[in-house]
Structure 1
């Protein structure tokens, strides 16, 4: 199995790049974010590789970082997510964006990727919530906020209501969650919903 390629960029396609390694050209499928980050033809490059062997073909998937490759593999543990959908997500969201969306159970952000409907988005945020590296790269404030919300109680209820209010005002769920998490950290766990909303709006206005 090929786990890494180090050579020179030969040429690009819509979703692939050819890497020249000692005169042999390897066609490697990549996310659009990876393709956009690659150097110009003729310049050196090193890619982490995931090799898929099928009866009728061998496909190489390339990643600039081990984190991206971990996500590629992790996403495919979810029913309904194959290589195409995993690459679509990695083309749309960074690892941090993915982790934060999962930490906040933000299906709408996940569903921004082409080919991902509400049901698949729901499975992704549900099944990957407690799996590494899903939360490894997430904002720790968002992780704590979601844990408080899941636990319920006064603080969890106030936090959930504050996030919901901001979402209703048009803010994205992850954006709202980050602002409420910061407001909660400043106001303390006894903060009421109204305090969290005001604090979060101040954070969003700065």
Structure 2
């Protein structure tokens, strides 16, 4: 199995990239975030690979980090999520945003991804509650509220603080990321008012 490719970017398509490794070009299907993160054609890159083998095909999926690759595999454990939908979610949301959406049970945030309808969004936040990808090379700092909270679901105080920050003009992703850092320092039982105050300080720094 191919676990990682080190080579040159040969070309970039709408949903794939060709990576030239010693004169052999590998077609790797990627999220739009991974494609945007790739260097220019002709430059060196490293792409983490998940190889999916079926009776009628062998397909490589490429990721910019071990964390993104691990989320791809975790997302596909949910019924109704195949490789295409998993890439759609990773295109719409960063790993930390996915984690925070699950912790906040934010179905609308997950539903922003192509191929994710209301029922599937509910299934995703329900079945992945408390689950985070693990493995070598995964950056725990990018796993958002889900990791900071431990049990994987935001207490009412945290959800209220996120809502308050969103009402003040910050995006859900910004608010969740700031509060993930605060909860990791202060604890999940921090009162809402203090979370909001610290969140504003974190976001303005």
- The answer to whether the Cα contact below 8 Å between 1:176 and 1:200 also exists between their aligned partners in 2 is no
Consecutive unaligned residues of structure 2, counting only runs of 5 or more, are: 135-139
CA–CA distance in 1 between the matches of 2:68 and 2:177?
23
Secondary structure of the 1:53 match is strand
**Which structure has the bigger radius of gyration?**
1
Counterparts of 1:46-195 in structure 2 under 5 Å?
46-133=46-133, 136=140, 137-139=143-145, 143=149, 149=155, 156=156
CA deviation vs aligned residue, 1:153-203 (integer Å, no higher than 9, x gap): xxx5x66666667778887666666788869x98x9695x7x579858966
Shift of 1:47: 1.0
Tell me how many residue pairs correspond in the alignment.
195
| Superposition deviation, residue 97 in structure 1 | 0.7
Higher relative contact order (CA 8 A, sep 6+): 2
How far apart in 2 are the matches of 1:12 and 1:190? 46
* Backbone CA RMSD of aligned residues: 3.5
Aligned mates of 1:15, 1:3 — CA distance in 2: 19
Report the TM-score, using the length of structure 1 for normalisation: 0.75
- What TM-score, normalized to structure 2? 0.75
Mapped partners of 1:201, 1:68: distance in 2: 26
Q: Is the Cα–Cα contact under 8 Å of residues 145 and 154 in structure 2 kept in the other structure?
A: no
Q: 1:131 to 1:92 in 2, by over 3 A?
A: same
Structure 1 spans left out of the alignment, 5+ residues: 150-155
For residues 141 and 90 of structure 1, the distance between their equivalents in structure 2, rounded to whole angstroms, comes to: 18
